[in-house]
Amino acid sequence: MIISWAIVRRDHLRLMRGLSMRISGVQSLMFLMVIGSVLRLSSQQIYQCTLPIGDADFVVESVSMTGCSYDACKHRGKQTFNVSFTVLIPAKTIQISVVDNRKADKPHSVKFWENYKVCDDKDMECPVMPGTTLSLSFNISIPKAVKNKDIWTRVEAFNENKERLLCLKILSAKKGQAPKKPDL
């Protein structure tokens, strides 16, 4: 009886060790998938803003911008920005701001446009309830002053209480160069 208990115990430990390794492998894979999806939203140079855990009141479904690819994102005149995201909090109104975040000491040194009221569009129905997926498409005209610089462009959407509904950063490079993180 003692021998059979030892064999069962040994087999049980092997099974648990193997199961533990499989579970930790799944957890590691899940962690890498979450990090990859949070930091890189598309095959372009577009990223989700770094926010404290639990501070993101949105889920980005897809995002793209004309003139951007995996290898390069160039700011040239008017570009179309498309984003589809799900809001997790209610919003009576939605305002979008697009700013250049080039310098740390001047976090909003160039405002491409600010406080664009999405709900004023005839195609948008407001208020927006939690769980609603919104698809927005708008043009961003890049001022000539920043066309020859490496920049982070920040696209943000807020509700009437200034709660963040969307936050994305676009890394763009000056003409003739590969994109790189600007000096901040």
CATH number, domain containing residue 139: 2.60.40.770
pLDDT at 90: 92
Inside any domain, residue 138: yes
Q: Are 66 and 79 in contact (CB under 8 A)?
A: yes
pLDDT digits (tens, 9 = 90+) for 133-179: 988 888 877 666 666 666 777 888 899 998 888 888 877 666 666 65
pLDDT of residue 160: 92
Q: Considering only 5-9, 10-14, 147-151, which range has the smallest mean pLDDT?
A: 5-9
Asked whether residue 178 is assigned to any structural domain, the reply reads no
Residue 183 resides in a domain = no
Tokens describing residue 40: 């890189």
What value does the mean pLDDT take over residues 68-75? 70
Give the residue among 49, 54, 78, 61 at the shortest CA–CA distance from 143: 78
Asked, for residue 21, whether it belongs to a domain, the answer is no
- What the block records as the tokens of 141 is 């005209």
Residues 136 and 165 sit within 8 Å (Cβ to Cβ): no
5-9, 53-57, 71-75, 103-107: segment of lowest average pLDDT: 5-9
Using one digit for the tens of pLDDT, what is the confidence trace for 84-100? 989 899 999 988 888 77
The pLDDT, as a whole number, for residue 92 is 92
In contact, 44 and 69? CB cutoff 8 Å: yes
Torsion of CA 37, 69, 112, 162, to 10 degrees: -10
In a domain, 159, yes or no: yes
Q: Which residue has the higher pLDDT, 16 or 104?
A: 16
**Does residue 11 sit within a domain?**
no
For residue 37, being part of any structural domain is answered with: no
Could you list the residue range(s) of the whole structural domain that residue 165 is in? Answer: 42-172
Tell me the CA end-to-end span of the chain in Å, nearest whole number: 70
Cβ pair 74, 57 in contact under 8 A: no
Number of domains in the chain: 1
Q: Is the pTM of this model over 0.85?
A: no
Q: What is the pLDDT of residues 91-136, one digit of tens each?
A: 999 888 887 765 544 555 555 666 678 888 767 788 889 999 988 8
